[in-house]
C-alpha cells in the first residue's frame, strides 16, 4: 500500500495509529497523579497511554492548552504529554471519498521526494495485510492478515526530531541524515518495517497505545509497509524498494587512517595516512592543494600507489566567491553555468560563510547543470591528485551563519507556525534560509536532500575518473544514499559512551540500507586515552568501514603513536579482520544483490529469542561471526549480559 496524502505545509498533524488491539485502560489517576483542569475533567481524561500531544511546541501551559480546546492533566509518567486532544474531539484530517489508495488535498500541489519507488503489483485482496481507517480518518491501522496484529506493545514515550543539521554528536538529537524508516519486531517474533518518504523537518513520537504520530511540516505522506516476516526479510524488502547498497571495492575494506590537522606532507609521510582532510587544500579551497606545505603531494600519492595503497581526498560543498576573477576555476565555471542555490528571488546566489576565506556560494546538486560542473571538476582534479575515492563532508549543507546574508526574512516559510523539536528550533541554524530556491523548489523542502543529491554524481564521477568501482563517503544521507556511498557516524567524542553508541549507529545504518558504515575510531573530538583508544581499535577492527580519525588540535591517536605494545595488540586484532575479509566481502555481495545486512543485531538470527532484542553491546557479521567488545573502562572481561547468558 502506498498512502499518498497532500498536506498543508504550515501546520500538519497526522497520527499513524497501529490500533490493532485497543482495550479499555484505567483512568489517568491510576497511572500517575492528575493535576490541572478540574478533578472531574481529570478523572474523565484520556488514559495516559492513549494521549496525543496537543502542544508539542515548548512552553505549554494550562491556559494556552485549553485555549486550543485541549485537555490539561499532568502525570508522573515520564515524557507523557500533559496537554492532549480530548478523546471525543476529532483532530487531524477529515476523510472524504475513497481512501483505499490516496488521500489528498485537492487545493494545492505539494513537494514530492524525487525518488522513484515501484510498488509491487499486488491486488489488495492478495496482500498479506489490511489497511483500515477510522471514521474521522485521523487514525489508520495496519493488520497482518495471518495474525491480526502488526506491532508489539510499546512501553515508553519517545520522540525523535528529523532534519539534517551540522551538530556535534548527541543521543536523540537530529544529526546529519534523514531516514524516516523504522523496523519493529512484534510479540510473536514477526517483524515489519515502515518508511515515510518525506524530506521535510518532522517529529516522530511513539506512545504505549501503541501508536506512532508523524508531524511533518511539508511534502506529502507517502508510506510504504514491509511485512518481513523476519528482520532480514524486512531489510531485503526495504532495499528492494529504495535501491540495493553499492558493492564496495575490496581495498576499501582495509584499515584506514586519517586526521584533520596533519599540517604538512612530512607528517603524512611519517604516518602513512590514506585520507586527506582539508589541510591538503590551498586555503581550504576545493580542487586545490597547498603547494607550500604539501609540495610534492602528487608524487607522494604515486609512491603510495606503487606500494599498493589507496588514498581518499575530501571535498566540501561550498565554493569561495571572493578569489580574484579568473584565478579560481570552480567558481568561475559555476558562475558561468548558473549552478548555485539562490536566494528567495530565484536569481541571486545565496551567500554564506564556511571554511574557505571570504564568502561562499553553494552548488545545487538537484540541478542537472551542477552535475555536469561537478563531474568535469572531479575528472580534471584526478589529473592533479591521483585519488582513488572522494569523501564529501559538510553537505547538510553546512553554513557557519544562521541563514545566508543578510539573514532570513520573517515569513511563514522561514518561521513556520510549527517547528519540530530540532536542535535550536530553527530551520536555518548553521545552514541556508528555508525560502532559498533550488532546482527542485524551496530549500524548505529540499534541505535534507542536499547530501543525497551530491552522492550519486560523486559516485559516477569517481567511477569515470578511476575506471574502477567507486569509493564515496558522505556525511549527509537520505533514503537510498547507500546505492552510491558509505557513511561515517560524524563528529563523535573520545568517550566510552560514544564507543558504545557507535554499535547502535552501525546497526541502524544497516537497517537503512547503508552497510558500509563506521565511526571515527578513538573518537573525533577531545583527547583520547591509551586504554580507550586500544579498546576502540579492537572494536573498530570490526566496523565495515574501519577508520581511525580525529580533529585538529587534539593529540595524535594513530596506533603507532602509543608505542610498540599498543601497535602489537592493534595489529593482532586487525589481522583477525584481514583473515576474514573474504567472508566480509561475501557479505557485501549478499547485501548488494539481495539486500541483506552486513552487520546485524543478534535478534536477526535468533528471531524467536526475545532476550536478544535489547542487546546493543554485541553484534554479528552476517549469520556466523559475533563480536562482543569490552566497552567499559578498567575492564578485562565482558560481563554477563543482564538479559542473556552471553559472557
Contact 312, 274 (CB under 8 A): yes
Structural domain contains residue 79: yes
Using 50, 70 and 90 to split pLDDT, how confident is the model at 107?
Answer: confident
Q: How far is the CA of 510 from the CAs of 150, 452, 582, 609, in angstroms?
A: 22, 17, 19, 21
Pair 454, 515 in one domain: no
Instruction: Compute how many other C-beta atoms are within 10 angstroms of the C-beta atom of residue 64.
Output: 14
Percent of the chain with pLDDT over 90: 74
pLDDT tens-digit map of 472-484: 999 999 999 999 9
Using 50, 70 and 90 to split pLDDT, how confident is the model at 142?
Answer: confident
Contact 117, 238 (CB under 8 A): no
Pair 38, 141 in one domain: yes
Contact 494, 463 (CB under 8 A): no
Using 50, 70 and 90 to split pLDDT, how confident is the model at 141?
Answer: confident
- The per-residue pLDDT for 438 is 98
pLDDT > 60? residue 15 = no
Pair 229, 312 in one domain: no
Contact 15, 213 (CB under 8 A): yes
Q: How far is the CA of 95 from the CAs of 7, 92, 181, 596, in angstroms?
A: 13, 10, 25, 38
Pair 223, 337 in one domain: no
Structural domain contains residue 436: yes
Pair 416, 549 in one domain: no
- The per-residue pLDDT for 545 is 98
pLDDT > 50? residue 642 = no
Pair 222, 276 in one domain: no
Three-class SS state of 548: strand
Query: How much is the pTM?
Result: 0.92
Structural domain contains residue 306: yes
Using 50, 70 and 90 to split pLDDT, how confident is the model at 124?
Answer: low
Cα-Cα-Cα-Cα dihedral of 405, 407, 411, 415, to 10°? 120
Pair 291, 409 in one domain: yes
Pair 45, 165 in one domain: yes
Structural domain contains residue 255: no
Of 372 and 214, the structure prediction assigns the larger pLDDT to 372
pLDDT > 90? residue 303 = yes
pLDDT tens-digit map of 381-419: 999 999 999 999 999 999 999 999 999 999 999 999 999
pLDDT tens-digit map of 346-367: 999 999 999 999 999 999 999 9
pLDDT > 90? residue 18 = no
- The per-residue pLDDT for 28 is 29
pLDDT tens-digit map of 144-199: 888 876 554 466 888 899 999 987 667 778 899 999 999 999 889 999 999 999 99
What is the average pLDDT across 263-283? 93
What CATH number has the domain bearing residue 324? 3.20.20.80
396 is catalytic: yes
Distance CA(582)–CA(586), nearest Å, equals 6
Distance CA(123)–CA(74), nearest Å, equals 46
pLDDT > 50? residue 13 = no
Grid coordinates belonging to 130 = 489490511
Q: How far is C-alpha 469 from the geometric centre of its chain's CA atoms? A: 24
Pair 43, 27 in one domain: yes
- The per-residue pLDDT for 10 is 26
H, E, C per residue of 90-141: CCCCCCCCCCCCEECCCCCCCCCCCCCCCCCCCCHHHCCEEEEECCCCCCEE
**Catalytic entry in 393, 435, 491, 558:** 393
491 is catalytic: no
Question: Which DSSP state fits 401?
Answer: S
Pair 474, 493 in one domain: no
Radius of gyration of the chain (CA): 26
Q: Which residues pair with 94 in a beta bridge?
A: none
Pair 401, 516 in one domain: no
Domain boundary among 485, 502, 537: 485
pLDDT > 70? residue 97 = no
Give per-residue burial for 481-492: e unless 16+ CB within 10 Å, then b: bbbbbbbbbbbb
Structural domain contains residue 211: yes
Grid coordinates belonging to 553 = 588540535
Structural domain contains residue 304: yes
Three-class SS state of 18: coil
pLDDT > 50? residue 19 = no
Grid coordinates belonging to 421 = 523539536
The rounded mean pLDDT for the chain is 88
Distance CA(396)–CA(163), nearest Å, equals 9
Number of structural domains (the chain) is 3
DSSP states of 225-248: EE--SSHHHHHHHHHHHH-PPP--
Of 151 and 567, the structure prediction assigns the larger pLDDT to 567
Using 50, 70 and 90 to split pLDDT, how confident is the model at 99?
Answer: low
Pair 574, 524 in one domain: yes
pLDDT tens-digit map of 108-123: 789 999 999 876 656 6
Contact 487, 509 (CB under 8 A): yes
Domain boundary among 469, 485, 501: 485
Using 50, 70 and 90 to split pLDDT, how confident is the model at 91?
Answer: low
Q: Beta strand 211-216 with 14-16: parallel, antiparallel or unpaired?
A: antiparallel
Domain boundary among 452, 485, 518: 485
Q: Crossing angle, helix 496-511 and helix 231-242, to 10 degrees? A: 70
Hey, which of 47-61, 416-430, 498-512 has the most confident mean pLDDT?
498-512
pLDDT > 50? residue 30 = no
Contacts of 383 (CB under 8 A, 6+ apart): none
Flag the least confident range among 16-30, 269-283, 568-582. Answer: 16-30
Structural domain contains residue 155: yes
pLDDT tens-digit map of 492-540: 999 999 999 999 999 999 999 999 999 999 999 999 999 999 999 999 9
What is the average pLDDT across 204-233? 91
DSSP states of 257-297: E--TT--SHHHHHHHT--EE-GGGSSTT-TT---TTTTTTH
**Catalytic entry in 277, 286, 323, 396:** 396
The vertex-303 CA angle with 297 and 305, nearest 5°, equals 110
Provide the residue range defining the domain that includes 476. 271-485
Structural domain contains residue 556: yes
What CATH number has the domain bearing residue 235? 2.60.40
Amino acid at each position: 500500500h502506498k498512502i499518498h496524502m497532500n498536506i498543508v505545509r504550515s501546520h500538519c498533524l497526522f497520527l499513524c495509529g497501529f490500533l490493532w488491539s485497543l482495550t479499555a485502560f484505567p483512568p489517568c489517576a491510576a497511572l500517575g497523579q492528575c493535576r490541572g483542569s478540574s478533578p472531574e475533567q481529570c478523572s474523565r481524561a484520556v488514559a495516559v497511554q492513549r494521549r496525543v500531544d496537543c502542544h508539542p511546541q515548548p512552553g505549554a501551559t494550562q491556559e494556552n492548552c485549553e485555549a486550543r480546546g485541549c485537555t490539561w492533566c499532568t502525570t508522573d509518567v515520564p515524557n507523557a504529554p500533559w496537554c492532549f486532544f480530548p478523546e471525543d474531539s476529532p483532530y487531524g484530517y477529515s476523510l472524504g471519498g475513497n481512501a483505499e489508495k490516496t488521500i489528498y488535498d485537492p487545493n494545492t500541489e505539494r513537494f514530492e521526494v524525487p525518488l522513484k519507488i515501484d510498488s509491487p503489483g499486488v491486488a489488495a485482496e492478495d496482500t498479506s495485510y489490511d489497511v483500515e481507517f477510522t471514521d474521522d480518518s485521523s487514525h489508520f491501522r495496519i493488520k497482518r492478515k495471518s495474525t491480526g496484529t502488526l506491532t508489539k506493545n510499546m512501553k515508553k514515550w519517545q520522540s525523535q526530531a528529523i532534519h539534517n543539521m551540522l551538530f556535534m554528536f548527541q543521543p536523540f538529537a537530529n544529526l546529519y541524515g534523514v531516514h524516516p524508516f523504522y523496523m519493529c519486531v512484534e510479540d510473536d517474533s514477526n517483524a515489519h518495517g515502515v518508511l515515510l518518504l518525506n524530506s521535510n523537518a518532522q517529529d516522530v513520537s511513539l506512545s504505549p497505545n501503541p501508536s506512532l504520530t508523524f508531524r511533518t511540516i511539508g511534502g506529502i505522506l507517502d508510506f510504504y509497509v514491509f511485512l518481513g516476516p523476519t528482520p532480514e526479510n524486512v531489510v531485503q524488502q526495504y532495499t528492494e524498494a529504495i535501491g540495493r547498497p553499492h558493492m564496495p571495492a575490496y581495498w576499501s575494506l582495509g584499515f584506514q587512517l586519517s586526521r584533520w590537522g596533519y599540517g604538512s606532507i612530512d607528517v603524512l609521510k611519517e604516518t602513512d595516512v590514506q585520507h586527506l582532510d582539508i589541510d591538503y587544500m590551498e586555503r581550504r579551497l576545493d580542487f586545490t592543494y597547498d603547494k607550500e606545505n604539501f609540495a610534492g603531494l602528487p608524487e607522494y600519492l604515486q609512491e603510495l600507489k606503487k606500494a599498493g595503497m589507496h588514498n581518499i581526498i575530501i571535498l566540501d560543498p561550498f565554493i569561495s566567491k571572493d578569489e580574484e576573477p579568473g584565478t579560481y576555476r570552480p567558481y568561475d565555471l559555476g558562475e558561468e553555468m548558473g549552478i548555485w542555490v539562490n536566494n528567495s528571488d530565484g536569481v541571486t546566489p545565496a551567500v554564506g560563510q564556511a571554511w574557505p576565506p571570504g564568502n561562499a556560494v553553494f552548488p545545487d546538486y538537484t540541478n542537472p547543470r551542477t552535475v555536469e560542473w561537478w563531474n568535469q571538476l572531479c575528472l580534471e582534479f584526478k589529473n592533479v591528485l591521483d585519488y582513488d575515492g572522494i569523501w564529501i563532508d559538510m553537505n547538510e549543507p553546512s553554513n557557519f551563519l544562521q541563514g545566508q546574508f543578510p539573514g532570513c526574512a520573517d515569513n511563514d516559510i522561514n518561521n513556520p507556525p510549527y517547528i519540530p523539536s530540532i536542535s535550536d528550533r530553527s530551520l536555518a541554524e548553521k545552514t541556508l534560509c528555508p525560502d532559498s530556491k533550488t532546482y527542485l523548489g524551496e530549500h524548505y523542502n529540499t534541505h535534507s536532500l542536499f547530501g543525497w543529491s551530491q552522492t550519486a554524481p560523486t559516485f559516477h564521477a569517481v567511477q569515470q575518473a578511476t575506471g574502477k568501482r567507486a569509493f564515496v563517503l558522505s556525511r549527509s544521507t537520505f533514503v537510498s544514499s547507500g546505492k552510491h556511498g558509505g557513511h561515517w557516524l560524524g563528529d563523535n567524542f573520545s568517550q566510552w559512551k560514544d564507543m558504545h553508541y557507535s554499535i547502535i549507529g552501525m546497526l541502524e545504518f544497516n537497517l537503512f540500507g547503508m552497510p558500509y558504515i563506521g565511526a571515527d575510531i578513538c573518537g573525533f573530538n577531545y583527547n583520547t586515552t591509551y586504554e580507550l583508544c586500544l579498546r576502540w581499535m579492537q572494536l573498530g577492527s570490526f566496523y565495515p568501514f574501519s577508520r581511525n580519525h580525529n580533529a585538529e588540535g587534539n593529540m595524535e591517536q594513530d596506533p603507532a603513536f602509543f608505542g610498540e605494545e599498543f601497535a602489537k595488540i592493534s595489529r593482532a586484532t586487525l589481522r583477525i579482520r584481514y583473515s576474514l575479509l573474504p567472508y566480509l566481502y561475501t557479505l557485501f555481495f549478499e547485501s548488494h544483490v539481495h539486500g541483506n545486512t552486513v552487520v546485524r543485531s543478534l535478534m536477526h538470527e535468533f528471531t524467536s529469542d526475545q532476550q536478544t532484542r535489547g542487546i546493543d553491546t554485541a553484534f554479528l557479521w552476517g549469520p556466523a561471526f559475533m563480536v562482543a567488545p569490552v566497552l567499559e573502562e578498567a575492564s578485562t572481561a565482558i560481563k554477563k549480559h543482564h538479559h542473556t547468558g552471553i559472557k
